[in-house]
A and B are shown apart, each in its own frame.
Chain A
Amino acid sequence: MFEFAFMQRALIAAVVIGIVCGALGFFVVLRRLAFIGVGISHSAIGGVAIGIVLGISPLATAAVFAIAVALAIARLSRRQLLSEDAVIGVFFSASMALGVVLFSLQRGYQQDLFGYLFGNVLAVSETELWVLGALGAAVLAALAIGFRPLFFAAFDEEVARAYGHPVDALNTTLLVLLAMTVVIGVRLVGVVLVEALLVIPAATAALWAGHYRNQILLSTTLGAGAGVLGLALAYWLDLAAGGAIVLVAAAAFFCSLALRQLRPAS
């Protein structure tokens, strides 16, 4: 099946996205950012709609929009006027509503919309692949450079702050990386399912590994593995690739959970 150029591109995209989502997913699970992830990914729908209406790249507008929402959530939560989940709830639903209204202005774009909602990895172009690779490399580099202070802040924000580490800037950076990763993942599984790639491989890894290094290694492997296997299943059985990838990841999670219940970690 990989003799087709479109399948080769899809495969590369699935592996890159699986690795990036798996790595960032470690922090999403550790810092309980799952709901922020949902908020940012769903708000990207508003960004996609703006792009389609304006006739420019929907992924570019989605990126700008998602990052803006991430920054706004970070800023409002820090002011402590409202709890963070309420802030997320407002942004996420309002952005989706914006998307729905903008889409309703357009006629004949329903096919496009479906691709952004649930992914269309088989249509990835070579240019998109390069952009994807560059964004993914940027996210991974930022995580590698900032890993120690990010991990310290995850353990104890108060002490990290007392020792002079830029905790607020680190938290904001993490949300921006999350927004970038969401946009990267949209091509593969769409805005509705991208959260799955951020949470499921990392959660599965947390069931098995006790040390952060092993968790990240396992999480990225599972992310990439689910991408490849899901893609292959989609090809053989003629399924939607995005859904197949997420279901493979979820199957690994539930199998792990069952095994863990049978033989709990010491």
Chain B
Amino acid sequence: MSERPALDEIVVRCENVAAEVHGRRVLEGISFELRAGRFLGVVGPNGAGKTTLLRTLLGLVPITEGRIEVLGRPAGASADVARQIGYVPQRHAIASRFPARVRDVVLMGRLAHFGTWRRPRREDHRAVAESLARVGIGDRAERSIGALSGGEQRRVMLAQALCASERLLVLDEPTIGLDLPAEHAFYALLRELQRELGLAVIAVSHDLLALAAAADELICINHSMHVHGNPDEVVHSHALREAYSCEFNFLAGEIAHHEKLGRSD
């Protein structure tokens, strides 16, 4: 297992990043820093380039301008960088008859560590058991992955990502399809892991207010940066409304409604 990082260490640094997808400019002028132990939420309207931003960090989309450093090394530069990131992509349902147990799936997250063409070592199996225990489903290891509920499957994917890295998690719509209690439980778990491991988290979500309640800081993008700050500032900012190009009052009503329900902790 990796050592617990110093809390002020910069895990991700994006400087003036631009990227294209199929020849179309999707991102420009994106700059932010993410430090160890911090949770950065990324919000923005549909098609704003949120997923593309995450994929640039992973080296899956090349950047056309600027620079991205992950733990001090250029993103996508080498397999070493890939081994420092745990990734949970936007999730389609797992096929109910996919022929693997929960621990087979989590072990996939370790594959880059023990080598693409090699067999898992004892420490890899230990890492699997640890990750499953951390996300609270240690007792499901031998179950078939398709037999788990949506919320449990999301935890399995989180365990897979933790097995890959305990430094940085990249999550794309991690709570989509979960009901409200499951969503709250997921974010609470994430915050616990963050504190416990000094993990840096960057997550994209459509659910602005749930993410605002969970994150330490938010950025709002719509191709370019609109605002970056602590969640309260961002949620109440004019720039956020600009990014969504929607009526101030509509969003304000949503926020008031949410605050009346009480924010999760």
* Chain A residues packing against B (C-beta within 8 Å): 30, 145-146, 148-149, 151-152, 155-156, 158-166, 206, 209-212, 215
- In the complex, besides A148-B111, A151-B108, A164-B112, 5 extra interface pairs with C-beta distance below 8 angstroms are A155-B98, A155-B105, A163-B85, A163-B112, A165-B112
Contact A210:B111 (CB < 8 A) given known A159-B87, A163-B82, A163-B87: no
Query: How long is the Cα–Cα vector from A172 to B118 in the complex, in angstroms?
Result: 20
Residues of A within 8 A of B105 (CB): 155
Residues of A within 8 A of B79 (CB): 164
**Chain B positions 148 through 168: 1 when the CB is less than 8 Å from some CB of chain A, otherwise 0:** 000000000000100010000
Residues of A within 8 A of B58 (CB): 162
Residues of B within 8 A of A149 (CB): 111, 116-117
Query: How long is the Cα–Cα vector from A76 to B151 in the complex, in angstroms?
Result: 38
Q: Residue among B59, B99, B109, B112 with the most chain A CB within 10 A? A: B99
* Chain B residues packing against A (C-beta within 8 Å): 58-60, 78-79, 82-83, 85, 87-89, 97-101, 104-105, 108-109, 111-112, 116-117, 144, 160, 164
Contact A30:B99 (CB < 8 A) given known A152-B111, A212-B104: yes
Contact B99 A209 (CB under 8 A): yes
Contact partner of B144 (CB less than 8 A), chosen from A148, A156, A159, A211, is A211
Chain B nearest Cβ from A203, distance in angstroms: 11
Contact A163 B99 (CB under 8 A): no
Closest 3 pairs between A and B when the two form their complex, measured CB to CB: A164-B82, A164-B79, A162-B58
Residues of A within 8 A of B89 (CB): 156, 158-159, 162
Contact B99 A146 (CB under 8 A): no
What is the predominant secondary structure among interface residues of chain A facing chain B?
helix
Q: Residue among A160, A161, A162, A165 with the most chain B CB within 10 A? A: A162
A153: nearest chain-B partner, CB-CB: B108
Contact A162 B85 (CB under 8 A): yes
Contact A215 B82 (CB under 8 A): no
Query: How long is the Cα–Cα vector from A217 to B160 in the complex, in angstroms?
Result: 27
Contact partner of B108 (CB less than 8 A), chosen from A155, A209, A211, is A155
Residues of A within 8 A of B87 (CB): 158-159, 162-163
Chain A nearest Cβ from B128, distance in angstroms: 14
Contact partner of A165 (CB less than 8 A), chosen from B78, B98, B111, is B111
Chain A nearest Cβ from B98, distance in angstroms: 7
Contact B117 A163 (CB under 8 A): no
Query: How long is the Cα–Cα vector from A166 to B117 in the complex, in angstroms?
Result: 11
A146: nearest chain-B partner, CB-CB: B117
Contact B112 A211 (CB under 8 A): no
Residues of B within 8 A of A212 (CB): 99-100, 104
Contact partner of A211 (CB less than 8 A), chosen from B59, B85, B101, is B101
Chain B nearest Cβ from A31, distance in angstroms: 11
Contact partner of B99 (CB less than 8 A), chosen from A162, A165, A166, A211, is A211
Contact A162 B60 (CB under 8 A): yes
Residues of B within 8 A of A211 (CB): 99-101, 144
B54: nearest chain-A partner, CB-CB: A162
Some 27 contacts from A to B, beta carbons below 8 A apart, are: A145-B117, A148-B108, A148-B117, A149-B117, A152-B108, A155-B100, A156-B89, A158-B87, A159-B88, A160-B108, A162-B58, A162-B59, A162-B89, A163-B83, A163-B87, A163-B109, A163-B164, A164-B79, A164-B112, A165-B111, A166-B116, A211-B101, A211-B144, A212-B99, A212-B100, A212-B104, A215-B99
